[in-house]
Amino acid sequence: MALLEIKDLQTQFFTSAGTVKAVDGVSYTVEQGETVAVVGESGSGKSVTAMSIMRLIPWPPGKIVGGSINFDGQDLLTLTDDEMRNIRGRDIGMIFQEPMTSLNPVLSIGLQLMEPMIAHLGMSEADAMKKAVGLLGLVGISEPERRLAQYPHHLSGGMRQRVVIAMALACDPKLIIADEPTTALDVTIQAQILELMKNLTRDLGVAMIIITHNLGVVARYADRVNVMYAGRIIESGIATDIYHRPRHPYTLALLKSVPRMDRQRAAKLDPVDGQPPELTKLDDGCSFRPRCRFATDVCAKSFPPLEEIEPGHTSACFEKENLAKEVKDVIG
């Protein structure tokens, strides 16, 4: 059985401008020890999906209105608040985007690191401190004993992100959700952090959901990829399939917009035309239709279902056959 199985998840925000369907019927699974990437532009619903798994959507204005999230044999959406709190930080660890702001500036690194162990594992302070030293060593922070007494402002962004990773690992979770863990970091540090996360999840057998808009990250670190657009998954498959045989015009456009070192410098980038749709003004048709050069009349009538093209590779597009012909160019 899958470690995490999300079925038809719907999360909406009730704002004065109307109801925002931030996540509109998302389903995916994460197997034990597997790394799954969720890719998409800002506002595509990838972070909201993650926060829904943690049940940390702030109400008001946000609410999970439908679906189920099965984690390790129980539906997270039916748990009481206390039960859910025991899962957060213990069974599911979370790594956030902004290491500069995701640590509390007035509490010591040691205390912040020890908190989940004391809260969930009932560890004594001395034991938690011992383990904290070990964790800091594990994520590659030098002089871990000294760091415990330091505060976040003593550390660089990359170091802070390592602390956040250590925090997520503190209670030996089964799943880690990393929400754009490297977006705010320098490119050289990004590689280090990603490498660290990959090694740790592999060595410790932890499953990971990595949310990103960086397709380079996906290619190197993810086993499977879900591409999201306007609150839905529009393509899903193993990383190599998505890369070499994209079957959705949005995925194709994303791949084409990535700058590549092996192309001539004069070659122009090919950005995705247009803007992401306003989530309050979606109609019944395909939400990518206004930006899609393959769009036909049928695309306006209903949202294309997510259909399997080949084993383990699905796409939500009526024109996937047409698209397939063009794909060879991308791989180049």
Partner 1 sequence: MSKYIFKRVLLMIPTLIGAGVLVFFLMRLIPGDVCELRFAGTGLYVDQAQIDTCRSNLGIDRPMFVQFADFMIGFFTFNFGDSMWTGKPILFEIGLRFELSLQVAIMATFVAVIIAIPLGAISAIKQDTWLDYAVRTFAIAGIAIPSFWLGIMIILGLLIVTQQVTGIPWMPPIDYKPIWVDPAHNIAQLIWPAVATGYRYSAVATRMTRSALLEVLREDYIRTARAKGLIEKIVINRHALKNAMLPVVTIIGIEFAFLMGGLVVTEQVFNLNGIGKLFIESVQNHDYAMTEALVMLVVLIFVVTNFIIDLCYAWLDPRIRYS
The full length of the chain comes to: 332
Query: Counting contacts by CB under 8 A, is residue 147 touching partner 1?
Result: no
212 versus 315: smaller Cβ distance to partner 1: 212
39 versus 167: smaller Cβ distance to partner 1: 167
DSSP state of 326: H
How far apart (Å, rounded) are the C-alpha atoms in residues 233 and 25? 8
117 versus 234: smaller Cβ distance to partner 1: 117
Binding-site member from 15, 146, 154, 305 for partner 1 (CB under 8 A): 154
Phi then psi dihedrals of residue 16, to 5 deg: -65, -25
How far apart (Å, rounded) are the C-alpha atoms in residues 190 and 181? 8
139 versus 317: smaller Cβ distance to partner 1: 139
- Smallest gap from residue 296 Cβ to partner 1 (A): 43
Q: Where are the beta strands (DSSP E) in 115-191?
A: 175-179
H or E segment at 229?
Answer: strand 224-229
Q: Which of 35, 3, 16, 1 is nearest to 217 (CA)?
A: 35
Q: Which 35-64 positions form the footprint of partner 1 (CB under 8 A)?
A: 54, 56, 60
17 versus 107: smaller Cβ distance to partner 1: 107
Binding-site member from 5, 79, 151, 214 for partner 1 (CB under 8 A): 151
Tell me the CA distances in angstroms from 153 to 142, 144, 160, 182, one per residue in order. 16, 16, 9, 19
DSSP string for 292-306:
-TT--THHHHSPPP-
Structural tokens at position 112: 């912040």
- Smallest gap from residue 132 Cβ to partner 1 (A): 13
How wide is the angle at C-alpha 106 spanned by C-alphas 122 and 165, nearest 5°? 55
Binding-site member from 11, 12, 47, 102 for partner 1 (CB under 8 A): 102
Stretch that binds partner 1, among 149-157, 231-239, 263-271, 281-289 (CB under 8 A): 149-157
Q: Which amino acid is at 73?
A: G
Binding-site member from 7, 63, 85, 130 for partner 1 (CB under 8 A): 85
- Smallest gap from residue 107 Cβ to partner 1 (A): 7
108-127 footprint of partner 1 as x/- string (CB under 8 A): x------xx--xx-------
Query: Counting contacts by CB under 8 A, is residue 169 touching partner 1?
Result: no
Binding-site member from 42, 59, 73, 105 for partner 1 (CB under 8 A): 105
- 8 Å CB contact between 174 and 32: yes
Query: Counting contacts by CB under 8 A, is residue 131 touching partner 1?
Result: no
Structural tokens at position 289: 């239709």
- 8 Å CB contact between 81 and 88: no
Binding-site member from 21, 46, 88, 247 for partner 1 (CB under 8 A): 88
Q: Which residues bind partner 1 (CB under 8 A)?
A: 54, 56, 60, 85-90, 93-94, 96, 98, 101-108, 115-116, 119-120, 151, 153-154, 164, 167
